[in-house]
Amino acid sequence: MNKTENQILVIFGASGDLTARKLVPALFNLYQANQLPDNFVVLGASRSDMTDSAFRNKVVLESTYLADKLKKLEKEDIKNFADKFFYEDLGGSYDTDYGRLRKRVEDLKNKYQTSGNIIYYLSTPPTLYETIAQNLADAGMSTQNNGWKRLIVEKPFGYSLETAKQLNSGLQQFFKEHQIYRIDHYLGKETVQNLLVTRFANSIFEPLWNRNYIHHVEITNAESVGVEKRGGYYDKSGALRDMFQNHLLQIVSLIVMEPPISDAPEDIRNEKVKALKSLRVMESDQELFDNTIRAQYTSSVIDGKQVKGYREEEGVDKDSTTETFAAIKFFVDNWRWKDTPFYVRTAKRMPTKATEVVIHFKTPHHQIFQDSGLDSKDNKLVIRIQPDEGILLKFGVKVPGQGFKVERANLDFYYSSLAETHVMDAYERLLLDAMQGDATLYARADEVEAAWEFVDPILKYWSSGKDVRMYGYAAGVWGPENSHELIEGIGEWRNPGPNLTDDPGFCVIC
Ligand code: BG6
């Protein structure tokens, strides 16, 4: 395990929800696993007027997100953890002179011997990113002559290709690219990282991982919740910006990429960028019409409870044309993937919460078992990102008895079977990586822009009004009926159940 250098973590927007809900629990797990540096403090900074002790109460001692974990700890251990937290009120605005903040950081550094290493975590609206970066630079807090300085930013990284470019170049005026860590929490998920290992640590999959053996690739990201209290944000974003441009295209890049020459961050990120750049950008209205579907959930009754439609949600325009369902078919223009369709869909208010990648292999070119029904029983590799994390390989076996009737059997692996292993939460993993200067699982500027290059024309087409339809689907179903039309000639989407093996087909074991 790498040693983590002494440092200070400064969280901007520390009084917001993300700090208490995600960041502090992640730090707590690292504390319990003895992975925090020997000398380490957290300085929360935001516009609320709070003392150090009020901040500790809010994010640690009285936090509902930590309550269960704290119950299991000695008082002294809890105090040791809580004592690492401090707070600095920035006054009425983030756009202010950071001289006082700098002095506070210096004092903490001297008192707790944290050295000059600092991570700035921007847990604020993106509109403030450049302002904060500039004020840090103006106060001399971005220079690396006395310890490294890193800047972590949360998505969204821009609202379009143009704004993403502006944001990148805005930040790069004040921090060098290698100091900027763009967090995408999907990359912190073990199962997403396992895509790399499945492909590149085995010799059985990679020879088949191409257009010669793979018929199509399907990715589903389903959430059962609606927009909850985030209607205001979501209505300006939509499924394509909220999930597809970032999380799902990250997954796509890991499936599409060529083998990197090593596991060094830049080697992996270079291949991911190349993969994203090879997605065929849809240009004509006809292509965009044929290959994209958007929809909104409408009100319905789920488990006897009336559920609001998207347009009735708080913060959502009653005539909104923001999609809560997006399904995209696309191709990858390179040697490996030519003519292999990819189908990716994401939505809120579906029957269950599940994310999975399904690699559909081609049926054998020459079928000797004429009545086997093999066509509908293609080999599949299901990579389950969440929940019930694992991998499932579906292959044909003979049904006992006369003739050659073929059924599908399952070969599966579950993460939960690794009982002794602590699976790190995404934020825990990503924070630790940033603390150790490992940017492998963070998105680079060119990666983000390459993803926007692909998404931008779809968004422009959808907002153009030209022949674009907004379908409806009752909350709690698998999206609009016609979403199957996208998979023409192939069949239907595979609708995942809450468990990895959700189709109780033939079982070899019993
Ligand atoms: C976030 C989106 O990035 O990811 C949310 O803004 C979404 O709308 C969430 O609910 C899903 O994350 P997970 O880890 O629960 O799949």
pLDDT, tens digit (0-9, with 9 covering 90-100), for 452-461: 999 999 999 9
CATH classification code of 187-358+419-424+443-487: 3.30.360.10
Question: How is the chain split into domains, by residue range?
Answer: 7-154, 187-358+419-424+443-487
Neighbours of 70 (CB within 10 A): 17
**Measuring CA to CA, which residue among 119, 186, 181 is closest to residue 153?**
181
Q: Whose CA is nearest to atom 10 of ligand 1?
A: 223
Edge-to-edge strand list for the sheet holding 342-347: 406-414, 390-398, 380-386, 354-361, 214-222, 342-347, 325-330, 292-298, 471-474
Q: Is 229 annotated as a binding residue?
A: no
Residue 223 Cβ < 6 Å to ligand 1: yes
> What is the rounded CA–CA span in Å between residue 271 and residue 253?
8
Name the residue among 35, 24, 41 with its Cα closest to residue 117: 41
The percentage of the chain sitting over the pLDDT mark of 70, rounded to a whole number, equals: 96
CB of 190 closer than 6 angstroms to any ligand 1 atom: no
Instruction: Output the pLDDT for position 10.
Output: 98
Q: Of the given ranges (264-278, 387-401, 465-479), which has the lowest mean pLDDT?
A: 387-401
The annotation status of 444 as a binding-site residue, yes or no, is no
Contact 419, 166 (CB under 8 A): no
Closest listed residue to residue 247, CA positions, set 326, 313, 310: 326
Q: What is the pLDDT of residue 302?
A: 86
pLDDT of residue 503: 62
Q: Residue 77: what pLDDT?
A: 93
Question: What pLDDT is stored for residue 175 in this prediction?
Answer: 97
What's residue 377's pLDDT? 62
Distance of alpha carbon 315 from alpha carbon 456, whole angstroms: 25
Q: Is 440 exposed, middle or buried (0-12, 13-18, 19+ CB in 10 A)?
A: middle
Instruction: Give the residue-averaged pLDDT of 347-371.
Output: 88
Query: What is the model's pLDDT at position 497?
Result: 80
Cβ of 389 less than 6 Å from ligand 1? no
Q: State if residue 242 touches ligand 1 by the CB under 6 angstroms criterion.
A: yes
Residue 372 confidence (pLDDT) above 70: no
- Does any ligand 1 atom lie closer than 6 A to the CB of residue 154? no
Q: Which residues, 6+ apart, have CB-to-CB distance to 438 below 8 Å? A: 2, 265
Residue of 402 and 215 predicted with greater confidence: 215
Q: Is the pLDDT of residue 205 over 90?
A: yes
Q: Rounded to the nearest whole angstrom, what is the distance from the C-alpha of residue 179 to the centroid of ligand 1?
A: 25
For position 373, what pLDDT does the model report?
62
Token reading at 50: 């709070």
Q: How confident is the model at residue 198 (pLDDT cuts 50, 70, 90)?
A: very high
Sole residue written with tokens 């208010």: 349
Residue 374 confidence (pLDDT) above 60 = no
Across the chain, which distance is largest between two alpha carbons, in Å? 84
> What distance, in Å, lies between the first and last C-alpha atoms of the chain?
43
Q: How confident is the model over 376-413, as pLDDT tens digits?
A: 567 899 999 988 888 999 888 878 887 777 878 888 88
Q: What is the pLDDT of residues 98-146, one digit of tens each?
A: 999 999 999 999 999 999 999 999 999 999 999 999 999 999 999 998 9
pLDDT at residue 450 is higher than 80: yes
Residue 303: its pLDDT value, please?
84
pLDDT tens string 297-306: 999 998 889 9
Provide φ and ψ at 491, rounded to 5°: 135, -120
* Rg of the chain in Å (alpha carbons): 24
User: Of ligand 1's atoms, which has the minimum distance to the CA of residue 247?
Assistant: 3
Gap from CA of 299 to ligand 1 centroid (Å): 22
- Is-catalytic flag, 247? yes
pLDDT at 509 over 70: no
Pocket test for ligand 1, best of 243, 244, 350, 425 (most atoms within 8 A of CB): 243
222 CA to centre of ligand 1 in angstroms = 10
pLDDT band at 508 (very low <50, low <70, confident <90, very high): very low
Q: What is the mean pLDDT of the chain?
A: 91
Is 50 exceeded by the pLDDT of residue 168?
yes
353 is in an annotated binding site: yes
Same CATH topology for 7-154 and 187-358+419-424+443-487: the answer is: no
- Active-site residue (options: 247, 365, 366, 422): 247
The share of the chain scoring above pLDDT 90, in percent, equals 76
pLDDT: is 344 or 412 the higher one?
344
pLDDT beyond 70 at 371: no
What pLDDT, on a 0 to 100 scale, did the predictor assign at position 365? 82
Q: 7-154 maps to which CATH number?
A: 3.40.50.720
Residue 11, strand partner residues:
44, 121
Nearest C-alpha neighbor of 396 from the set 367, 426, 416, 425 = 367
Q: Angle of helix 445-464 relative to helix 265-277, nearest 10 degrees?
A: 20
H or E element at residue 100: helix 99-112
Q: What is the 144 CA–ligand 1 centroid distance (Å)?
A: 34
Strands (E), 52-189: 85-89, 118-122, 149-154, 180-183
- The rounded distance, in Å, linking the Cα atoms of 195 and 469 is 35
pLDDT score recorded for residue 502: 66
CB atoms within 10 A of CB 259: 12
Q: Is 453 annotated as a binding residue?
A: no
Atom 8 of ligand 1: nearest residue by CA position: 242
